Amino acid sequence: MDPITLGIIVAIALIVLMAIGTPIAFALGGISLLALIYDRGLPELVYFGETFFDRIAEFGFVAIPMFILMGAAVASSPTGRDLYRSLDLWMGRLPGGLAVSNIGACTVFSALSGSSPATCAAIGKMGIPEMRTRGYPDGVAAGCIAAGGTLGILIPPSVTMIIYGISTETSIGRLFIAGVMPGLMLAGLFMAWTMIACRLAGGYANPMAQAAAQVKQNVKANVDANLKALVRVLPFLAVIAGILFALYGGVATPSEAAGVGAFLCVALAVLIYRMWQVGPIKLIMRDSLRESVMIMLVIACAEVFAYALSSMFITQTVAAAIADMEVNRWVLMGVINLFLLVAGFFLPPVAVIVMTAPILLPIILAADFDPYWFAVVLTINLEIGLITPPVGLNLFIIKGIAPDISLRNILMGSLPYALCMVLGIVLLCFFPGIALWLPNLIMG
């Protein structure tokens, strides 16, 4: 069978499996198994097992559960609450100040957790009820948290950047620092749209004015408490700064830095918030183990899926077709962005990176694009997939936090932020220095 036709059949089968609710890892693994048996016969099952285990046996992947443990220690402690209160102290006077505070909290919490779902859940549990009680529209309240949570896979330390670095054999430290400025840029775009949306929804008129006045009174009455909350958050921020310094300074590998960071965050959570009972520690370990196993299982099955596609010459045919396109390199980049955007609609970021990054990297290099710049563009495309159907993980997390808000309202509130991400990609195309200036300055 023609490789392109075979690839279309495999893609349709994968979409059907996910549409009926099959977990991503099982869908990828099942389709891979059937495809290999069809193409090579039953003896190929030996290579299925070898490929599955060999890929996740790489030492670099040790950093993933360690960073997840670090994020779970932060997410399962009152750190998010303290961070939220502290930012509300400084941003409460802006138009839509509480919503802007939530995006700021998501930005900082992303650096602490490195996970979009954890960021979305931790800040959303506090921010959405508070915004709704103060008169904010449901769409704004849900949308700003869903979008702010996506920053978790861009702002370092980022699990997806680690996976990209291992898949493409690029520097993880350089990838981390390349995500800093674009992450802050997206946070700024989110905040700008939030203030515009709040103005369009009535600004400080009528109920919003009363809510704003109440915010100021509460802030003045609780300045001491909010400052104390900020002091409790600072040690966690110091850990992040230390990890980034160790990575960029060549002091430690990502796995070593992640291990130390995980230990320190768990220790700080226990000491600062007096989490001496077994229950909270068990919760941290359970959450980190569950997410780590899920990610590693997706990585292993995605690697087998990529091996199956390669063995049937599907990836080589597609890559050759893209490379042979006699078009301007920016048209080529547009096609790749569209492909990544559609892939992000159906697959989690981890699966997309493992399957596509090794294939797309030679094409990107041949077109004279920087691989670290492309990592940022790829990640923003995958961020869009987190707040767009049919998968839209962050949308369903928000729905779980606020079940009385309709999925339509959550989606409509999130779409403007998706357009902000598209604007961010456009800005990166015109000004690649947004992603490359800082790593070039620090690392040469």
Q: Over 70: is that where the pLDDT of 223 sits?
A: no
d(CA 323, CA 283): 48
- Read off the pLDDT band of 210 (50, 70, 90): very low
In 10 A of CB 184, how many CB atoms? 15
d(CA 320, CA 313): 10
244 contacts: CB under 8 Å, gap ≥ 6:
156, 157, 176, 177
Residue with tokens 């859940």: 121
d(CA 387, CA 146): 7
d(CA 242, CA 222): 31
State both tokens at 67. 């960073």
| Residue of 175, 161, 188 whose CA lies nearest to 107 | 188
Q: Over 60: is that where the pLDDT of 16 sits?
A: yes
Burial 90-110 (b: 16+ CB within 10 A, else e): ebbebbbbbbbbbbbbbbbbb
pLDDT per residue as tens digits for the range 90-104:
666 666 777 888 888
Q: Over 50: is that where the pLDDT of 413 sits?
A: yes
pLDDT per residue as tens digits for the range 40-67:
777 767 777 777 787 677 777 787 788 7
Q: Report the Cα 343 to chain-centroid distance in Å.
A: 15
297 contacts: CB under 8 Å, gap ≥ 6:
25
CB 98 within 8 A of CB 143: no
Highest mean pLDDT pick, 8-12, 274-278, 316-320, 377-381: 377-381
d(CA 379, CA 344): 10
What's the pLDDT score for residue 293?
83
- Read off the pLDDT band of 431 (50, 70, 90): very high
Please provide the average confidence, as pLDDT, over all residues in the chain: 80
d(CA 229, CA 80): 10
DSSP letter string, 271-316:
HHTT--SHHHHHHHHHHHHHHHHHHHHHHHHHHHHHHHHHHTTHHH
d(CA 384, CA 379): 9
Highest mean pLDDT pick, 44-53, 60-69, 164-173, 375-384: 375-384
Question: What percent of the chain lies above the pLDDT cut of 90?
Answer: 11
- Read off the pLDDT band of 166 (50, 70, 90): confident
d(CA 149, CA 394): 7
Question: For the chain, how far is it from start to end, CA to CA, in angstroms?
Answer: 49
Question: What percent of the chain lies above the pLDDT cut of 70?
Answer: 87
Q: What is the DSSP letter of 22?
A: -
Please state the pTM of the whole predicted model: 0.78
| Residue of 387, 371, 372, 370 whose CA lies nearest to 422 | 387
